[in-house]
Every structure is written in C-alpha cells, then in structure tokens.
Amino acid sequence: MVVRGDRRSLRWWEHGLAAGAIGVACLLALHSVVPNGVGRIGSALETFLPWLGVAVPLLACLALVKRSVGGLVACLLPALAWLWLFGGLWFASSSDAYDLTVVQHNVADDNSDPSGTAQALLATGADLVAVQELTPAARPVYEDVLGASHPHRAVHGTVGLWSSYPLTDVRAVDIRPAGFPGGWQRGLRATVGAPEGAVAVYVVHLPSIRLGASGFASAARDESAALLGARIADDPAVRLLVVGDLNGTVQDRGLDPLTSQLGAPEVGFAFSWPASLPVARIDQVLGRGVVVTEVSALDPTGSDHLPVVGRVRLGRG
C-alpha cells in the first residue's frame, strides 16, 4: 500500500530526475547556444562536454533506487544526445587502411627526461614526430634519438617536426596574438614528400588557457586560432594536416576557425591532458583533403601531456 505522502515524494523525485535529465540533454545537444560573452562559459562547457555523459548512469541509478519509472525513461534523452555527439568515437572500429602515422606531443619545457620521452616517441614507429615546448637544451637529445630514423627535420622556436620522408618548403608561421613578443615562435609549415603524395603539415602550439575567478581565459588562444585559420584558408595545398597542442578540444567554439576547415579523427577520445588524470584532448591531429581515421593516447612520459598518435589516410587528389 502506497500512502499519499509516498506518492507525493515519488512524484517529486520523478519531476526532479526528469528535469535533471532534460537539462543534461539540452546542454549536450544545444551547447553551441550557451553564451560565451561572460567568462567564456560556452567554451568551458565544450572543453569537458563528453563528461556530461557521466550524469546519465548517475541519474539512472537514482531513478532505480527511487523506483521512478518516469525518471528512468527521462534518462534516455541525455543518453541519446550523448550517443549522437560521441557514439561514433566510442563505438566505431578503427580502419586498417592508412598511409601515414603521426605522433604529436607537447614534451614540456621542464621535462627532466627528454631522452626517455624521445625514445617513447621513436618506439611508436610514426612517420612524423611533432613536438612543442622544445627547448634549446633538449633539442640535441631529440636530434640524437630521432636522427637515424627521421633524418629530415624542421624546427622553429619551440616547435619541431621530425620526418622519415623529405621535407621541403619549410617556413615559419606567425600565429602571435597582439602584444605577444617577437620571440614567441610557435608555428611552422613544411611539405612532406610522402610516397602517396605531398602533404602540407603545420606544427603549432596555441596560447595556454586559464580557468579562474574571471572564467575561462581563452582570448589569446582564440586570436591565435583565427590567425592560423586564415593561413590555412589561403594555403593551396590539396592535402593538409594541422598537428599540435591547440589548448582546446574540437568541440570548443574558440577553435572554430580551424575545425570549420579541418576534419577531426573518426575514432578515439584520446584524452591527452593532464597526463596524471586526462580529461580532455587538447593535442590534435586534424586534416583537410585527408582523413584522420583514428587517434589514440600513449603512456605518460616526462611531460604533463600524453602523446597522441594519429593514423591518416591520404586522398589521391
């Protein structure tokens, strides 16, 4: 026998659970309409967007405990929204067909074991090795470890590219936001002469973001992304890759100048930061005229980022 008070309590729980589930579903499906004007709340939400899926089993368990059928049914909404956004990354199988392997790693300028980090990158067997936060002291270590297998290299400022294939048309790419000093050099472009055809490769490191009392401080990152996006739009290369620490996820609207032109990996979450407890992939392998079929994160090195490996299928155009 259910007394009136118990029925009221159950209805209250059902209404609360339904409201929570609908709220999570709306944040997932309509994240792009969350305003970004104050504290860049929208970008902050989009950085951690996949983790909203954690709310689904929590709400479902609560509905089961309270024996709330309505609350359990309402959980289908955020579950479907999450699957719509991320189901492909989670469930799709990786393709065995690829032409190029790229390892991307912010090696950290305070890395106490550059030799071990370089050995870890070498062990991937990647055709291309892209790094950021490369210091003058550490550069000879990477050259020594990678030089035999990747004899072609390009370094500009704190970013570098080692390649097993010839590099041509190497140039600096200026992505400095206004007010940044001339010594801030975090971008380069090179053409890789892969057997399947030439591909332009950008290696970049966008400005860091900060999360504080004033919100999500990403203005410099966003400006740098816009500068890079303009360069890519003007680049005539048929096949093009952008590899680097973008300090943002592909869902973050601050990277729209890039993600609107470039394809993201089809498989894999590959959370890369922070290395101790990865919650977001801010290290990216993105492409135009190519398909990044898969991206995966590797074991920790001496950096606060995890290396990520991307497998790329080159178009034949």
In tens, the pLDDT along 66-91 reads: 888 888 899 999 999 999 999 988 77
Q: In the predicted model, is pLDDT for residue 3 greater than 60?
A: no
H-run or E-run covering 316: none
- Weakest mean pLDDT among 73-87, 88-102, 240-254, 297-311: 88-102
**Alpha carbon separation from 85 to 18, 53, 216, 315 (Å, rounded):** 21, 10, 23, 26
Compute the CA torsion angle 286, 287, 293, 296 (nearest 10 deg): -20
What's the average model confidence in pLDDT over 184-202?
97
Q: In the predicted model, is pLDDT for residue 96 greater than 90?
A: no
What's the average model confidence in pLDDT over 252-263?
97
Question: Could you give the CA distance from residue 233 to residue 229 in angstroms, rounded to a whole number?
Answer: 6
pLDDT range class, residue 217, cuts 50, 70, 90: confident
Q: What angle do CA 309, 315, 317 make, to 5 degrees?
A: 150
Cβ neighbours of 139 (radius 10 Å)? 16
Burial class (CB in 10 A: 0-12, 13-18, 19+), 184: middle
pLDDT range class, residue 10, cuts 50, 70, 90: low
